[in-house]
Structure 1
Amino acid sequence: MTFTNQLSARVEYRKSRQLSLSLVDYQLAEQRSTEFTIGADFRKKGLPLIRRIGKMKMDNDVTFKLDIGIRDDATANSKLDQNTAFGTAGQKVIRINPTIDYVVNSRVRATLYFEQIKNIPKIATSAPVTNTRAGVQLTISLNQ
């Protein structure tokens, strides 16, 4: 959904379920996943971060993006001859991803990015893991 002030927003909701039947040990494995993501983009036209390069005046576009997502995964096994189910795996994943994209000119684009993903396990045999990426990406287009 895009608004009149160059702001756009999106909301996503995903759900999945997968069943696997094993006739060797008479077990049913069920994998469920639920994901909720919200995001927003804001584009500002004519933002002069760099005033002048030589004799050229720089009026360029900058785009701010923010995505936040939560995913919940769970795996449970149940024996067909018993009425019980036990959890075998699962995790909650939280993702935060802001980026700033600056168009220097028609051939050069600079992107400042940050991404953090946190995995929180549901079973005691796994430890929580957090991955963080950040940096600057410079894209130069050589074609005309």
Structure 2
Amino acid sequence: MSANTIRARVAFSFKGETHELDSVIDLDGRLGEPGEAPDFHRLLARAAGIDPYSYLYEVLESHEIAFSDATGAAAQSCREGRFDWARFERARREEQDWQRVRAVAQQTLGARDLDAEPELKAALLAVYRAGKAGG
């Protein structure tokens, strides 16, 4: 599975000084409770050495972050400068499930391109998920 990263950028002015924050964030290292996106403003502030209890941080928080250059499962969740965290979580879960299923299927079915057989892929994933749901 490839790394899930995203580039986050924000530019703003404070006290006559322009601040341009730009950071590549490792999303795999930022997974917490399901449905809870990381605080991207805080991550950018930390990378730039901005105190989260400062007026500068408050100004930073008031500006929208632009997202780009996503990799891995995050790529399909990043569009037009926006990042859909819920969609990313679903895509990441899908990718993780498929990697587990593929490993077992290739041992059992031999070397075949399972991605080229969408019906088989869907059936294998359905069985895997039913097994997970059953406990």
Q: Would the TM-score normalized by the shorter structure come out above 0.5?
A: no
- Structure with the bigger percentage of helix: 2
Higher RCO by CA contacts (8 Å cutoff, separation 6 or greater):
2
TM-score w.r.t. length of structure 2: 0.22
Structure with greater Cα Rg: 1
- TM-score of the pair, normalised by structure 1: 0.21
